[in-house]
Structure 1
Amino acid sequence: MNVDDRGRASLQADIGLVVFITLVSLTAILVGISANLIWNLIYLGITLVVMLITYFYGLIPGMLSNLLFIFCQVVSTAYINVSLHQTIPLKMAFWLILPGLLSGALAVMTSKQQLLQLDNHKLRNQLTERGAFDVQTNLRTLVAFSTDARVYIENHRRFHLPVTMLVFRIRYYQELQRMLSEEQNRMLLRVISDTLTTVAADNDLSYFLDPEKPTWGMILHSDEGQAQQIVDQIKQRFCQELQSHEQLKQLDTSLTAGMASWNTSTMDSPYDLMKQSIRETEYDV
């Protein structure tokens, strides 16, 4: 799916949602006007069943269910009028039309949303296959860092924007790992990754650089003073997140951080920037 198709599908899903909400509101108004509680409850229950069929099985089964619903309404109305000599108010006629419209709007909305979800899943798989995206942490990897960092460095060269890289590691991770279960270890890695994502600004990119010795990175257009504020925020947020997780709050751990700014005279590649940031973590005591 290209960008135009993706945008068209998103627009159609939004239109389907708006139409569906409008029809639901209209149904509520007509139910109040008709003032026939028992029949409205029966028809409303059947309409919900029809919409569930549409949602799980698609438009065609939903429309067939609507035709069956209409047929049942006609037969029941004829029986009541002829055999029981009673009349069903004409106001109830909206139940012949609205369930079909609701099913159609729901089918359009769900089909386009499913199409977008499938496309996102394919894109995620492509990123994973190319090694640019880590499935466990939902962060970019070292492969993506080398490409992204060159863009940041080029911005530094052309627009004189500062480029600073932050690196985070878990203090005493090797000793801590022996005490953690596999589930706790995965949860700990995810908490740190989510913390970086939450604190990072829109133009700050976060990475999971090394799964063997868990290492996170963040590259940003900020000077060292601003970067230090982000480091403090991440460390503080990480401690708060640990306390909110029942399985992790007993851990006595923290993050070590290293920081380095791009220096044209001493650095030749993005890896020089990363290595310098990693070295700086050794001095965070």
Structure 2
Amino acid sequence: MKRYQSSLLSDAAFLLLFVVCFIHIVFTAGDPNHYLMNMILLNVSFLIAVMTYFTSITVGLILNIVFIFGYGTYTIYQTVIVGEPLQSYHYYWLVMTPVLTVIVALLTFANRRLQQEKEQLQAKNASLATLDERTNLKNTRSFQSDATIFMALSNRYQIPLTLLVMTVKHWDELSRMVSEAQITDMVYDISRMSETSIRMNDSLYMLNADHPTWGLMLFTDEDGAKVVIQRLKEKAESFNTVEFSSKYKLDMKLTVGAIQYNAEEITEPLDFIAKARQKMEYDI
């Protein structure tokens, strides 16, 4: 409802701005006897409106007060001292300059509210997202939720549970050799390759999108995890020969670490990741 109100206010202010600008132009062009004065006042009116747009309504109101005081004083001088009679353009600019400022201030206010609501929605979406946008893999938030359940099942039914963490060796150097679009394709291709190396009841996660780190939750012990690691590295070798080298002109090597769940050593999902990362140090 608030977004609708902000959007409606922005649209209304935008249309009013067009209308007032049209009226300004018609009024200025329709009085050839005071064309120069009207042009000067038109520019002053737009200048105040622009300054209001980039600052605030408070600044706009202060500038309008200064304008009304200055132009009012000039009008009184022309009327009393010079003897020039009051004419329509005197009243017009005293009224329409503040009107234009208020419309611009409303437009600015509505646009800023829309921007704030957009940022809030983006932040909320980021906090609730459970999938990595580049690969559609489950992210760390989803991993924490799933791992909590899997760890509880492992404890209750004595099912072996192993987390395998995988990165690409020298990723920072490799990523500098290709374009941003190719980096996204590389991450996607490696993710698809990893998915084909695990069983249907195992889970694959993107634990770190900035420095691509994959997590594989396996319902097996460390011996079974070694088989998966071997399978991954063999696929990586064949992947280099068949597709990776020809597509990206690079060779890919994996760094993998695996740790079996132990309730005494691992109390929460992030501990699981940390200990699996430690195992990666031994994969040279």
Q: Give the TM-score band, short-chain normalised.
A: 0.5 to 0.7
The CA deviation string for residues 135-187 of structure 1, in whole angstroms up to 9 with x for no partner, is 21121000000011111111111100011000000101111121122222112
**Corresponding residue number in structure 1 for 2:247:** 247
**Corresponding residue number in structure 1 for 2:230:** 232
Question: Pairwise mapping of residues 50-89 of structure 1 onto structure 2 (< 5 A)?
Answer: none
**Corresponding residue number in structure 1 for 2:213:** 215
Cα drift, residue 267 of structure 1: 1.6
**Corresponding residue number in structure 1 for 2:144:** 146
Task: Please give the alpha-carbon distance, in whole angstroms, between the structure 1 residues aligned to 2:133 and 2:181.
Answer: 16
Task: Please give the alpha-carbon distance, in whole angstroms, between the structure 2 residues aligned to 1:213 and 1:135.
Answer: 14
**Corresponding residue number in structure 1 for 2:24:** none
**Corresponding residue number in structure 1 for 2:278:** 279
Question: Pairwise mapping of residues 2-17 of structure 1 onto structure 2 (< 5 A)?
Answer: none
Cα drift, residue 257 of structure 1: 0.0
Instruction: State the TM-score, normalized to the length of structure 2.
Output: 0.53
Q: CA RMSD in A?
A: 1.8
**Corresponding residue number in structure 1 for 2:255:** 256
**Corresponding residue number in structure 1 for 2:269:** 270
- Identify the match of residue 193 of structure 2 among 185, 192, 195: 195
**Corresponding residue number in structure 2 for 1:182:** 180
Q: 1:211 to 1:276 in 2, by over 3 A?
A: same
Task: Please give the alpha-carbon distance, in whole angstroms, between the structure 1 residues aligned to 2:129 and 2:233.
Answer: 28
Deviates more, 1:145-154 or 1:172-181: 172-181
Give the 3-state SS of the residue equivalent to 1:139 in structure 2.
coil
1:158 equivalent to 2:172? Answer: no
8 Å contact from structure 1 (residues 206, 216) kept in 2: yes
What percentage of residue pairs aligned between the two structures are identical?
29
Task: Please give the alpha-carbon distance, in whole angstroms, between the structure 2 residues aligned to 1:243 and 1:181.
Answer: 21
Task: Please give the alpha-carbon distance, in whole angstroms, between the structure 2 residues aligned to 1:222 and 1:262.
Answer: 10
Task: Please give the alpha-carbon distance, in whole angstroms, between the structure 2 residues aligned to 1:141 and 1:205.
Answer: 11
Task: Please give the alpha-carbon distance, in whole angstroms, between the structure 2 residues aligned to 1:139 and 1:242.
Answer: 22
AA paired with 2:282?
A: Y
Task: Please give the alpha-carbon distance, in whole angstroms, between the structure 2 residues aligned to 1:128 and 1:237.
Answer: 33
Task: Please give the alpha-carbon distance, in whole angstroms, between the structure 1 residues aligned to 2:222 and 2:125.
Answer: 31
Mark the runs of 5 or more structure 1 residues left unpaired by the alignment: 1-125
Give the 3-state SS of the residue equivalent to 2:163 in structure 1.
strand
The CA deviation string for residues 188-245 of structure 1, in whole angstroms up to 9 with x for no partner, is 1111100111111111000000011110001111011111111111121122223332
Instruction: State the TM-score, normalized to the length of structure 1.
Output: 0.53
**Corresponding residue number in structure 1 for 2:86:** none
8 Å contact from structure 1 (residues 156, 163) kept in 2: yes
Give the 3-state SS of the residue equivalent to 1:199 in structure 2.
coil
**Corresponding residue number in structure 2 for 1:64:** none
